[in-house]
Structure 1
Amino acid sequence: MEEIKDSSVLRPYYDPETFNVNYPAVFRPDKGVIDHNGLNIASKLTIVNQSASGSLKSLNGKISGGSTLAELTTGLKSKFLDGIMSPNQGSGSKSLNDLEWNDMINLNVWRQLMEKLLKQLSSKYFQHLIRQPFEISKLLLQVGDFDHLIGDKKSSAYHDDNDSGYDNDELEEEDDEAEPNFFVNESQVTAIEKATKHEQGDLNENGTLIKPASLDMIDILNSIMDKEGIQGVWRANNTEFIYNFLSVSLDAWFTGLLSPLLQIPDPYFIDIIHSPDVAKSAGLILLASCMSRLVLLPLDLIRVRLIISSVQSDDPLLDNDRSLRKLIRRWSWRENISKLDKDLVFLNIMYSLVGTSFSKLTGALLYHQFNIDKFTNVVLYNTMKFVSKVCELFVRLPIENLLRRSQVKFLMTENPFQIKRDAMIIKPREYVSTYQTVFKQYGRIGELWRGWRLGLLSILCGYSLKILNKPEEVLEEEKF
């Protein structure tokens, strides 16, 4: 069968000059794609930006020949003149007038924006209210010394067990007029001295110490409720919320400030896995996190001060001011930066580096090293993130514990936020330095992981929700 080379034999009714059915653009073999005015589609492209028609004429005079160039310049000049004579039809004016300025004076746009912001803030604040009591109990467990309470309970239980065998009749038969024993041994003297010091210590605390039944977080919260009521459970609530808000805001501000200098995209707008230089992006994230934490160091000290101090102490001699506005005015970097311990600054930097490395860089590591992402491997990705968060918990907790103890030590020294022992609700754990705590008190090294049960439970709940939900919009999102 012979091949038919002429398409007109198959479609004798087709006339390329008239068969356009009023389309806005038609393809002509000899001219290309043209519009209904007969102009080539190339005339629609803004490839030359001239401010006067004289420049276009000079360009056409220098380069002559061919009808395509004439059509191109004619289309550009007509579009340029249309934009001058009719500003409403110009693309630039329309974008400026109809979009930007109208949005600025449009009350509906502002109303929708404010509603969205209020909804997000209320949601975050509600989540913060639920988490705050547990954060308070965890911090008190980290910095408090509850050995005297536990020791008293153990000793009382021991004496109760030994004394249970005695009969009341035998006690009645004892001689009331027995001569007292003036000769006591050394162990009895030591026990009497310890009891006396313990009673004097309780008196010196003015009754502000909480007395939990055990080291469980629920017992800590119950003891706070018994001592100071519902107000004590949500102490430093607003300060904590402001600190978290400013931490995220400063993080984003520092990354936006430094990313142009490093010639990399802002990690808050473009994920680090899409960065042209992952190493620079990772370094920027870590640097911004450390800078934010150091800038907010005074606010963090105020937060710890409000948590460990009593909310009912009105004694002016104790200086237990609980106003964030008044406390923050006391701080001056010029005068107080020299008072900061090197240990305190070092632990702040370490805490920031560990938390940011696990939380923000795990996704980039999984993608670039193991080719695992949250779009194609949802279950595996969430499982690896769960493992990463568990590792972060057990690495971060000791550093956080040491940081809180160093903050309490600093608060008890002479500084703008100084707090006296009588105003505290806990007996502070003795802290000298990181080296002293880790290497010379190795018998109590396990105390550095206090609060791990709550952290692990939170991670398990988050992992379960991500596995059970599996939102379709996340799975269908395009991966670049």
Structure 2
Amino acid sequence: MEEIKDSSILRPYYDPETFNVGYSAVFQNDKGVIDQNGLNIASKLTIVNQSVGSGLKSLNRSLSGGNTLTELTTGLKNKFLHGIMNSKHGNNAKSLNDLEWNDFINVNVWRHLLERLLRQLSSKYFQHLIRQPFEIAKLLLQVGDFDYLTDGNKSAYYNDNDNVNDNHEFEDDDDDEAEPNFFVNESQANLIERAAKEEQGVADENGTLIKPASIHTIDILNSIMDKEGIQGVWRANNTEFIYNFLSISLDAWFTGLLSPLMQIPDPYFIDIIHSPDVTKSASLILLASCMTRLVLLPLDLVRVRLIISSVRNDGSLSDNDRSLRKLLRKWSWRENISKLNKELVFLNILYSLVGTGFSKLTGAILYHQFNVDKFTNVILYNTLKFCSKVCELFVKLPIENLLRRSQVKFLFTENPFQVQSEMLIIKPREYQSIYLTVFKQCDRISELWRGWRLGLLSILCGYGLKILNKPSEILEEEKF
């Protein structure tokens, strides 16, 4: 029996356009579900017209073809922006990326956006306030000369001949049977005062030098508090916050600028482990970090200048300008780029490469070399990241120490940020070059790791929080 392929032969009386058995809605192949008036029911749904329509159009574009990498990058970018603008005001609150034309004149939408921005800004600033005093203490320990606090070490400005003469003049004081002399003449008073100043390491004519009881962080902060009050503990606070903000912003801008030229996705939107070319992505991350560090070099110098100088501005200190705006106006790359020391530029690049390499490339190495990621091996991944951060701490601290000393040395040369010795709150450690510091002063090499206890404690606290907390944010991501 021959198969009948055309169903119209069996029902010649059937017309799909006019056939109706009394239903309130019928389905037509080309129009969908229509009512008795011939109108499409889907067109009556306002929620489809307003919200789903744009989603269906983007879905149709993605299904009909197009650049898969572009669609993926855009989707992750939307998710990234939505995460930044995440709200606790309920389902009606919109993120910055979800704004429509009618939302631009809606006061409530803008109020919610501003509230979220202020909340996140205040949270970051509060974290910065907690960390700032410890950063100040660490920098002062790195660049300061505190030999008078350590047993067996003499100050670089201590003269052995003066020591012999002083002992000769005060040799009678060692006799226990001698009567105490409560009255001293003028020469003896000057000698005692000079000896006290040499014990401090440098003459403190303006009384700006701090005198900590030890080289521990708490003692450094206490000495700053005693000398300059609460303002001294949070010195250069706003400059530090601006530097951190610009560092993140410029790094993201450089990666977004260079990623299309290198034909790779932006690492800020697509994780490096999902990049089609991991080598190019890693090179882009390191290059952007170095460029950011060099662009912000003047601001970093201003930050160091504000930390090592006194906050006093009562006219007793000459040229003690602590205005970030005024100091940056003095800087000109055209005039001052030739004054930059090659070691200063090299240490900035090396410091950036080490920090970025450990912090941003560890995850890619763990995934591609050991098949460990944060989705399926949470505890192992965090443990290996902890080990990486510990290694980063002990590798980066000596480089940071040398960089800070090089910056202080540059600040004493003729430049727009030049600092005078009477403005300092510490006696600076003598620094000549990397070679002399590392290879010629082997007995002082341990000083390059000052501040490691505080850094290790911070890493331990961060590791403990990641282990104890449930990784809900990780489970929400899709591993592909």
Q: TM-score range by the shorter chain?
A: 0.7 to 0.9
The residue number in structure 1 matching 2:373 is 373
Indicate yes or no: 2:20 matched with 1:36.
Answer: no
The residue number in structure 1 matching 2:231 is 231
TM-score, L = length of structure 2: 0.73
1:112 Cα deviation after fit: 1.8
The residue number in structure 2 matching 1:217 is 217
Q: Is the 8 A contact 1:272 1:282 kept in 2?
A: yes
Indicate yes or no: 2:465 matched with 1:458.
Answer: no
Indicate yes or no: 2:276 matched with 1:259.
Answer: no
Q: May I ask how many residue pairs the two structures share in their alignment?
A: 388
Indicate yes or no: 2:273 matched with 1:273.
Answer: yes
CA shift digits 1:161-209 (9 cap, x unpaired): xx9xx896x334x999xxxxxxxxxxxxxx9998387289754542111
1:102 Cα deviation after fit: 1.7
Q: Matches of 1:125 and 1:387 in 2, distance apart?
A: 28
Letter aligned with residue 326 of structure 1: K
Q: Is the 8 A contact 2:313 2:320 kept in 1?
A: yes
Letter aligned with residue 315 of structure 1: G
Q: Matches of 2:327 and 2:213 in 1, distance apart?
A: 33
Q: Matches of 1:175 and 1:316 in 2, distance apart?
A: 37
Indicate yes or no: 2:130 matched with 1:130.
Answer: yes
The residue number in structure 1 matching 2:351 is 351
Distance 1:315 1:474, change over 3 A: same
Q: Matches of 1:436 and 1:22 in 2, distance apart?
A: 95
Q: Is the 8 A contact 2:275 2:281 kept in 1?
A: yes
1:114 Cα deviation after fit: 1.3
Q: Is the 8 A contact 2:317 2:422 kept in 1?
A: no
Q: Is the 8 A contact 1:235 1:307 kept in 2?
A: yes
Q: Matches of 1:144 and 1:279 in 2, distance apart?
A: 40
1:95 Cα deviation after fit: 8.7
The residue number in structure 2 matching 1:301 is 301
Provide runs of 4+ in structure 1 moved above 6 Å: 17-24, 92-96, 152-155, 191-194
Indicate yes or no: 2:442 matched with 1:442.
Answer: yes
Partner SS, residue 215 of structure 2: coil
Distance 1:369 1:326, change over 3 A: same
Q: Matches of 1:357 and 1:401 in 2, distance apart?
A: 18
Letter aligned with residue 36 of structure 1: F
Distance 1:454 1:22, change over 3 A: farther
Q: Is the 8 A contact 2:147 2:153 kept in 1?
A: no
Q: Matches of 2:24 and 2:437 in 1, distance apart?
A: 82
Letter aligned with residue 38 of structure 1: N
Q: Matches of 1:456 and 1:200 in 2, distance apart?
A: 30
1:91 Cα deviation after fit: 5.3
The residue number in structure 1 matching 2:95 is none
Structure whose CA Rg is larger: 1
The residue number in structure 2 matching 1:382 is 382
Q: Matches of 2:137 and 2:262 in 1, distance apart?
A: 42
1:113 Cα deviation after fit: 1.6
1:442 Cα deviation after fit: 1.3
The residue number in structure 2 matching 1:322 is 322
Q: Is the 8 A contact 1:264 1:275 kept in 2?
A: yes
Distance 1:260 1:210, change over 3 A: same
Please, which of 169, 178, 198 is the counterpart of residue 171 of structure 1? 178
Q: Matches of 2:203 and 2:143 in 1, distance apart?
A: 21
The residue number in structure 2 matching 1:360 is 360
CA shift digits 1:201-239 (9 cap, x unpaired): 754542111111111000000110111111100000000
The residue number in structure 2 matching 1:429 is 429
Partner SS, residue 178 of structure 2: helix
CA shift digits 1:269-305 (9 cap, x unpaired): 1111111111111100000000001000000000000
1:117 Cα deviation after fit: 1.1
The residue number in structure 2 matching 1:289 is 289
Distance 1:20 1:381, change over 3 A: farther
Q: Is the 8 A contact 2:347 2:402 kept in 1?
A: yes
Distance 1:213 1:111, change over 3 A: same
The residue number in structure 2 matching 1:395 is 395
Partner SS, residue 382 of structure 1: helix
Identity among equivalent positions (%) equals 76
User: CA-atom RMSD, angstroms?
Assistant: 3.8
CA shift digits 1:334-356 (9 cap, x unpaired): 00000000000000000000000
Q: Matches of 2:294 and 2:352 in 1, distance apart?
A: 9
Q: Is the 8 A contact 2:144 2:429 kept in 1?
A: yes
Partner SS, residue 331 of structure 1: coil
The residue number in structure 1 matching 2:410 is 410
For structure 1, list consecutive stretches of 5 or more residues without a partner in the other structure: 1-16, 25-34, 42-77, 83-87, 177-190
Letter aligned with residue 140 of structure 1: L
CA shift digits 1:292-337 (9 cap, x unpaired): 0100000000000000000114336621100111111000000000
